[in-house]
Amino acid sequence: MSAARPRVLLLKIPCASDAAAPPLGLGYLAATVSDLAEVRILEGIRQPMDPQTFRHVVASWRPDVVGFSVNTHAAPNLAAYARAAEAGHPAGLRVAGGAHPTALPAETLASAPLHCVLRGEAELPFRQLVRLVVGGNGTLPGPAALATVPGAAFADGDGVTEVAVELVDDIDRFGIPAWHLMPPADYPHAPHGAFAQHYPVAPILTSRGCPYSCGFCSVPQLVTQKIRYRSPELIADELRLLRNRFGIREFQIVDDNFTIDRRRAIAICEHIVAEGLVMPWSCPNGVRVDALDDELLDAMRAAGCYSISLGLESGSPAVLARMVKHLDLDIVPAVVDRIVARGMEAHAFFILGYPGETEADVDATIRLARSLPLTRANFSLFTPLPGTPEYDRLSAGQRDRILNLGDFAEVSYVAPGLTVETLKAQQRRAFMSFYGRPRQLGRLALAVRTPGAGYHLARRAAHWLRAY
């Protein structure tokens, strides 16, 4: 272990699907252990990053703990970065967390030279793990010590031991992310959701969890179905810090379901107004359509909200039923009209290629998107992410049809009777049908506020629409 204060290096494994935004998860981890260790955050967005570069960083800084944040799209790259860390400083503890290790702990451990993974929310377990390393006098924690860390999974003899995850109800305990390690102004003009009105822009969380069970979503299984809330006071403190110290001019609420409790969402908006923190903000992650009544929309608009993304997913009631989406399409036009009538932008997410979907279902989705006064629409191809109900179902009976999980732009699953070419053609048809109208192109052009944003948008468009 380091002779001076222990060192913790946190890396968000780079992948093609990354948004150019501060990694909130690592920011929370860093804040949790900042009193115990010197911490650095790397993520390959603010600076070029590849395994060789990472090995040099590890070799020169010699961190006592290297933590990897891994989503499913980045999982194929984990082994190279873990080997780089091992080569750069063999004595350091290597641990992975995030959505993919949580869903597939044994597979993650088998794929890379790691000492353990942390499943679920890792703030407090990571702090405990760092304490074990700090108190080990140069000896890394063994199975007996790791077995005391909630959510840990580690190789133990011929198998893998998984310690039960402990859920934290009071998420205010996690505090405010370590924004000084990921200043928003250092990031390119390509935030989560691709668009913003003003820069710098910062993402924030006001809650964790989602009570729904959509077949394509891993949040209920990986985070929890129990939704937990940060206090309006702590949210205001974070926004004040971001504005006054880091100069943000806009923020994004990236909750999995910000509007699930409409009274609480209204209270947050009213608190933002009362604290003099009104500035432009958006909900790029998608919200529940059926919660957006006039009172809530008025409160959001008064607090500065200018853009709301909606998780519509499909224009076919049959597909929505298979998704377990619980969305009544009949209410959608009126809700979108309410958003637009208040001078806010409405955007929508759709999924193509869902198991059981037909050409008629795709046509219904395109018709729905074209019929609404949306500023933007995103048509992603169905990806059976580990930790989702659909992944579990398909892995049991159609594992050979899961092609890859490395990129949302790629075809990840091909249903019986379809081909890779057919799915990409459907996706291109949806995009061209929606954006090929002069009015829609004009709306898109007006949303691009800086040359940097235009550059990154063009790169993303080329990536999504590339032909096979």
pLDDT at residue number 396? 77
What is the average pLDDT across 427-436? Answer: 92
pLDDT at residue number 190? 66
Instruction: Select from 343, 351, 402 the least CA-distant residue to 381.
Output: 351
d(CA 176, CA 237): 8
Q: Tell me the pLDDT tens digit for each residue of 261-276.
A: 999 999 999 999 999 9
Can you say how many angstroms the Cα of residue 465 is from the centroid of all Cα atoms in its chain?
22
Q: Does 459 score more than 80 pLDDT?
A: no
Is residue 115 helix, strand or coil? coil
Instruction: Select from 10, 18, 11 the least CA-distant residue to 73.
Output: 18
| Residue reference for tokens 């060192």 | 7
Per-residue burial over 32-49, b if 16 or more Cβ lie within 10 Å, else e, is bbbebbbbebbbbbeeeb
Helices 294-302/262-274 angle, 10° precision: 30
DSSP state of 214: -
Instruction: Select from 204, 196, 190 the least CA-distant residue to 237.
Output: 204
Q: Tell me the pLDDT tens digit for each residue of 275-303.
A: 999 999 999 988 888 889 999 999 999 99
Return the structure tokens found at 259.
């509007």
pLDDT at residue number 134? 86
d(CA 410, CA 144): 42
Phi first, then psi: what are they for 202, rounded to 5°?
A: -130, 140
pLDDT at residue number 44? 79
On whether the CB atoms of residues 87 and 56 are closer than 8 A, the answer is no
Per-residue burial over 110-132, b if 16 or more Cβ lie within 10 Å, else e, is ebbebbbbbbbbbbbbbbbbbbb
- Homologous superfamily (CATH) of 183-465 is tm_1862 like domain (3.80.30.20)
Cβ neighbours around 370 below 10 Å, total = 16
Q: Using 50, 70 and 90 to split pLDDT, how confident is the model at 96?
A: very high
Interacting residues of 111 by C-beta distance below 8 A, sequence separation 6+: 75, 78, 79
DSSP H helix total and E strand total for the chain = 18, 15
Can you say how many angstroms the Cα of residue 173 is from the centroid of all Cα atoms in its chain?
21
Q: Tell me the pLDDT tens digit for each residue of 117-155.
A: 999 999 999 999 999 998 877 789 999 999 999 999 999
CATH 3.80.30.20 residue spans of the chain:
183-465
Residues paired with residue 156 on neighbouring β-strands, in sequence order: 159
Instruction: Select from 110, 11, 9 the least CA-distant residue to 69.
Output: 11
What is the average pLDDT across 185-192? Answer: 80
Q: Which residue has the higher pLDDT, 110 or 2?
A: 110
Q: Lowest-confidence range among 48-62, 150-164, 331-345, 401-415? A: 401-415
Q: Using 50, 70 and 90 to split pLDDT, how confident is the model at 166?
A: very high
What is the per-residue DSSP string for 350-409? EEES-TT--HHHHHHHHHHHHHS--SEEEEEEP---TTSHHHHHHHHH-GGGB---S-TT
Q: Tell me the pLDDT tens digit for each residue of 371-405.
A: 999 999 999 899 888 888 888 888 876 666 776 66
Fold of 7-162: Rossmann fold (3.40.50)
What is the per-residue DSSP string for 39-87? EEEE-SSSS---HHHHHHHHHHH--SEEEEE--GGGHHHHHHHHHHHHH
d(CA 373, CA 340): 7
CATH 3.40.50.280 residue spans of the chain:
7-162
Tell whether omega for the bond before 384 is within 30 degrees of 0, i.e. cis: no
